[in-house]
Structure 1
Amino acid sequence: MKGSKPLIYWLILLFFAVILSLEYATPAEYVFGYFYIVPIVLASYKLTKKATLRLTLIGVGLTLSNLVFPQLEIETLAITVNRLIAVLALWVTGSLAVRIRQYEEEINRQQAQLQAQQQLAAVREDFISTLTHDLKTPLLGAIETIKGIKAGLFGEITPQHQKVLEMMLRSHRSSLELVQTLLDVYRNDIEGIQLQCEPVNLASIAAEVIATLTNLAATRQVYVVLSCGDSDFRTHFWVNGDVLQLQRVFSNLIINGINHSPRGGRVEVKLETEGDFQLVKILDNGQGITPNELPHLFERFYQGTGDRQASGTGLGLYLTRQIITAHGGKIWAANRSPMGAIFIFCLKAIPLPNNDLN
């Protein structure tokens, strides 16, 4: 120890001096080694683990040495056993004291880690608020301005201008969707997904999402079709779910299929019932998925390095898995034969609602 010694240091020395005096000033049958427990416990609370062990060893050594010093003769077996019991008590006390000190340090470390996590959560909340205000608001303003220009509110627009403005509008909408996805991913990680569940028809949701993606599919020259297995009765595909969140699942998976399909390709959305579950399969005829990519497809920010066309930020599939997991379902991917990929998710089926008229 450097510099001035703390008070506890001198107090421990005083205890040792008093106990040592009693130990060596009395016959060997009087065992005062038990009192070394006091400075050992004091050291465990105020000094380091190394210092505590050192004091324990000193106490053990002094207790044993009193068998032959200062009498300079070996005592009886009973006295020896008594001393060994005292040594055992000292060693157990020292070991427990060190163990307790380790537990306290671990608790303090975990408390510090918890505090750091709470601070990180607060930083994330600030980050989300900043994104909402500084990114979404100007994007929404730009989108509305472009719509006004397209509508001719600021003068006549030629067909060529219309094409440019439509391209700008798509770009701003994509940026807005990206911002919203980032916000949702961070919010879901912190708070979990808050679902507004009700009986929903997966076939109806799929049809609505496909209709909204008609222009994107046409631009990519990809055909998107919906099939309901061996049945034409769409009332067979009812689940308990959040309509808006499930729309995002269909949208993410269908867009993923469109982006990874060649021009003139085909994306099929197939709905099936298997036992107590409703299955949704999104099939494309792109380049497929490499074996190394399959385990990582649904990880955050993961983008494949294979021959499939890379697009986006790697958040779409991650968010999709979050939503399906929150619904109590499962999602996975596989390769098709001879070419292409298939994404499948399943949700628990529910009986046909009484008020359904389909």
Structure 2
Amino acid sequence: MNAVNFYSKPAIRWLIVFLFAFALSIEYLTPPEYVVGYLYIGGIVLTSNHLRRRETFLITLIAAFLTLSNLWFPVYQLSQASTIVNRAIVVMALIVTSVISDRNRHYQAAIAQQQLRLHAQEQLASLREDFVSTLTHDLKTPLLGAIETLKAMQRAEFGAITPTQQTVFTTMQRSHQTTLQLVEMMLDIYRNDADGLTLKLQPIELGAIAQDAMLTLRELAAARRVHLSLNYSDSGFRQSLWAMGDALQLRRVFSNLITNSIHHSPRGASVEIWLESRPSHQVVKVLDAGLGVAPEELPHLFERFYQGQSDRQATGSGLGLYLSRQIIEAHSGKIWAENRVPNGAIFAFRLPTISP
């Protein structure tokens, strides 16, 4: 007999009949004082696991009836009270077994369905990540080509250009650079999720990294008419904030947070970078005077692709803050956001302090 036939419903029914016949023969060949009705449990469990609920209910009733009927069949005689109580206990055990088996079957079915859903979601997530990774990788080549072509046109390699055309080419190049940065950011995020973030750790001074990031974003701030300022704690005097980190990755965090604040600050406002040295942590805060963040959205700002309901969150891609969280957590640090009084937002992170 092969496995398929063995586990088929007809085979299960014959096995249950055999178990009941075996239990019944032992039950009726022994005096009523010997209660062996527990042997019916095997048939009940098999019925519950492989057959329908109605059949389980029927088998349980039959087992209970046979257990009690042995008090008078095959030989009628007066039974002691202890014998009757023992058989009543067996009947209760059979009913409880039937109920528990039915619940276990229900739970197993629910677990199986949940596992199928999780497997389907994992497959979908894997396909989506592969698709995005491939798509972003293929987008880099035409973007790089377009940027180099625009640079050549700005250098008048294809003929003389007017000042108006120069302005247009500069705008187009900046737009392509922004798109390229977004594509590279997506690639980095998926690479970090899949393989983890590899850091080149060394002692670094956060003030120097902050100044480099501000210098890089100077033109963007000027175009938005936003003033950038660097401040050291409450004293205002320059301090050295040493931490163990990857300078390139932390510069990306500074750039992401400062860029985010520039984009969400009104014209003529200031974006302030505050550096605070503490005994156990170095703290970096980026303050803006924008619209702020709804309190219920603050815990979700650093989730991947998160888009809030307010105008501030709706304008971003949801990638820069998520990548910043990846980098800071890889440095054993913490990143967070809070609202600024009376208006604006504060994006901050902290890293463990080391000796210079």
1:340 aligned onto 2:344? yes
- Asked if structure 2 preserves the Cα contact closer than 8 Å seen for 1:282 and 1:343, the reply is yes
Instruction: Select 1:135's aligned residue among 130, 133, 139.
Output: 139
Q: Residue 15 of structure 1 aligns with which residue?
A: 19
1:220 aligned onto 2:224? yes
Q: Residue 3 of structure 2 aligns with which residue?
A: none
Q: CA deviation at 1:100?
A: 5.8
Please give the secondary structure, in 2, of the residue aligned with 1:6.
Answer: helix
Counterpart CA distance in 1 for 2:224 and 2:319 is: 21
Q: Residue 176 of structure 1 aligns with which residue?
A: 180
Q: Residue 163 of structure 2 aligns with which residue?
A: 159
- Asked if structure 1 preserves the Cα contact closer than 8 Å seen for 2:137 and 2:187, the reply is no
Q: CA deviation at 1:206?
A: 0.8
- TM-score normalised by length of structure 1: 0.83
- TM-score normalised by length of structure 2: 0.83
1:297 aligned onto 2:301? yes
Instruction: Select 1:329's aligned residue among 328, 333, 350.
Output: 333
1:283 aligned onto 2:314? no
Please give the secondary structure, in 2, of the residue aligned with 1:224.
Answer: strand
- Asked if structure 2 preserves the Cα contact closer than 8 Å seen for 1:332 and 1:344, the reply is yes
- Asked if structure 1 preserves the Cα contact closer than 8 Å seen for 2:288 and 2:345, the reply is yes
Q: CA deviation at 1:351?
A: 0.7
- Asked if structure 1 preserves the Cα contact closer than 8 Å seen for 2:19 and 2:43, the reply is yes
Q: Which runs of 4+ in 1 moved over 6 A?
A: none
1:313 aligned onto 2:317? yes
> Which deviates further from its counterpart, 42-51 or 311-320?
42-51
Name the aligned partner's letter for residue 279 of structure 1: V
1:190-209 equivalent positions in 2, closer than 5 A: 190-209=194-213
1:252 aligned onto 2:247? no
Counterpart CA distance in 1 for 2:58 and 2:327 is: 57
1:27-106 equivalent positions in 2, closer than 5 A: 27-48=31-52, 51-52=55-56, 54-69=58-73, 74-87=78-91, 90-91=94-95, 93-94=97-98, 97-98=101-102, 101=105, 105=109
Counterpart CA distance in 2 for 1:264 and 1:251 is: 20
Counterpart CA distance in 2 for 1:90 and 1:287 is: 67
> Which deviates further from its counterpart, 309-318 or 270-279?
309-318
Change (3 A) 1:90 1:292: closer
Counterpart CA distance in 2 for 1:306 and 1:86 is: 65
Counterpart CA distance in 2 for 1:92 and 1:11 is: 22
Name the aligned partner's letter for residue 186 of structure 1: Y
Cα RMSD over matched residues? 3.1
Counterpart CA distance in 2 for 1:303 and 1:282 is: 21
Counterpart CA distance in 1 for 2:342 and 2:41 is: 77
Provide Cα deviations, 1:80-121, integer angstroms capped at 9, x if missing partner.
244245435545654665566567556645654564355345
Provide Cα deviations, 1:112-137, integer angstroms capped at 9, x if missing partner.
45643553453144224322333222
Q: Residue 122 of structure 1 aligns with which residue?
A: 126
Aligned residues: 348
Q: Residue 356 of structure 1 aligns with which residue?
A: none
Counterpart CA distance in 2 for 1:263 and 1:149 is: 32
- Asked if structure 2 preserves the Cα contact closer than 8 Å seen for 1:260 and 1:309, the reply is no
- Asked if structure 1 preserves the Cα contact closer than 8 Å seen for 2:230 and 2:272, the reply is yes
Q: Residue 355 of structure 1 aligns with which residue?
A: none
Q: CA deviation at 1:305?
A: 4.3
Change (3 A) 1:104 1:309: closer
Counterpart CA distance in 1 for 2:62 and 2:135 is: 62
> Which deviates further from its counterpart, 79-88 or 98-107?
98-107
- Asked if structure 2 preserves the Cα contact closer than 8 Å seen for 1:124 and 1:186, the reply is no
> Which deviates further from its counterpart, 302-311 or 73-82?
302-311
Change (3 A) 1:241 1:52: farther
- Where structure 1 has 5 or more consecutive residues not aligned to the other structure, the ranges are 353-358
Please give the secondary structure, in 2, of the residue aligned with 1:344.
Answer: strand
Change (3 A) 1:196 1:115: farther
